[in-house]
Amino acid sequence: MATVNSTPSAHDRINELTEEIKIRSTPFRRLLDEIGRVIVGQRQLIHRMQVGLLTNGHLLIEGVPGLAKTTAVACLAKGISTDFQRIQFTPDLLPADLIGTQIYRPQQQDFAIQKGPIFSNLILADEINRAPAKVQSALLEAMQERQVTIGHHTYKLEEPFLVMATQNPIEQEGTYPLPEAQMDRFMLKVLVGHPTRDEEIQILERMSKTKTSMEVNPTLSPEEILRARDLVDQIYVDEKVRDYIVDLVMATRDPGAYRLPLADLIQYGVSPRATISLTLAAKANAFLCGRGYVVPGDVKEIAPDVLRHRLIVTYEAEAEEKTSDDVVRSILDHVAVP
């Protein structure tokens, strides 16, 4: 007598995961709308911050002052009922100003630990490239290891932990461009542009007052974010989508193999960390769309933010006024989509 196989198929498991994700991702979409009541536009920036939260990755934000970068992070912190610290990076900033230090107590004849502002859930490192290398290294060590060492004691940073670092263009005086090895530690580099004309009118109507509302109702808890990360890890990536991700990465290293005339424009292709980050970010994008599986569109949407700061262009590219964004766009246009 034949036995009936009651083991659920991969298709059934994906469908079950999708149904659960539709429920678990609803608070994230509500958060986007909630922040939208305060901030006009910048939905891509807020979306990318949510991707960072879901993937345990950090963001490097580049944009001129006045584009609501600080406000966006503050609203995000309010929306998930968690701590937020803004740290202004300056040339005289010291690592102890960031991570904390030991203070001697004469009465007790011992040292007490004074924790720095890094001990928070959401960190805005404003103008990170204005601080010297030691401070940048202290921040990036905390980002990578999720811990801080003060004296002989090591302290774990509480999850979720997201660093959003803003950067001024390197042409401005008094800046220290981040080395490529440090740039690679950021999962995403997001370019923040000016609002459209209609958005500018909305900003004028909403913000041209002596008192403006910054009320954001909490829609998420840190515990919900950690549970959502478990679901992101389970999201299905088909073999064809996986190959597409690898092809995009390999095309930055050997464009000739993909019949792309970009060899003279690329000095260094992206690292394996880009492959991992692109896969995780595509999974997070699928989660925010309420899907239990990744489609090529998820990869294509998030790829510029993952690759632009990792791809190093040549002097010839700079002479032709070609940026890493131009090269990434060309790769995305020519590499076959499954």
Share of the chain above pLDDT 70, in %: 94
Average pLDDT on 271-285 reads 94
Average pLDDT on 303-329 reads 90
Q: Kindly list the distances between the CA atom of residue 287 and the CA atoms of 75, 81, 88, 188, 231, in Å, as whole numbers in the listed order.
A: 21, 21, 33, 17, 8
User: What's the pLDDT at 245?
Assistant: 96
Q: What is the pLDDT of residues 45-66, one digit of tens each?
A: 889 989 999 998 999 988 877 7
- Residue 22: is its pLDDT beyond 50? yes
Q: Give burial (CB, 10 Å; 0-12/13-18/19+) of 118.
A: buried
| Length of the chain measured in residues | 338
Q: What residue ranges define each of the domains in the chain, with the CATH number in brackets?
A: 31-94+120-207 (3.40.50.300), 235-338 (1.10.8.80)
Average pLDDT on 181-189 reads 85
Is the pTM of the predicted complex or chain greater than 0.75?
yes
User: What's the pLDDT at 2?
Assistant: 40
CA–CA separation, 73 and 42 (whole Å):
12
- Residue 187: is its pLDDT beyond 60? yes
Average pLDDT on 155-171 reads 80
User: What's the pLDDT at 173?
Assistant: 61
Average pLDDT on 38-51 reads 85
CA–CA separation, 223 and 318 (whole Å):
46
- Residue 1: is its pLDDT beyond 50? no
CA–CA separation, 331 and 306 (whole Å):
13
Average pLDDT on 85-105 reads 85
Average pLDDT on 181-190 reads 85
Q: Which among 5-9, 123-127, 174-178, 302-306 has the top mean pLDDT?
A: 302-306
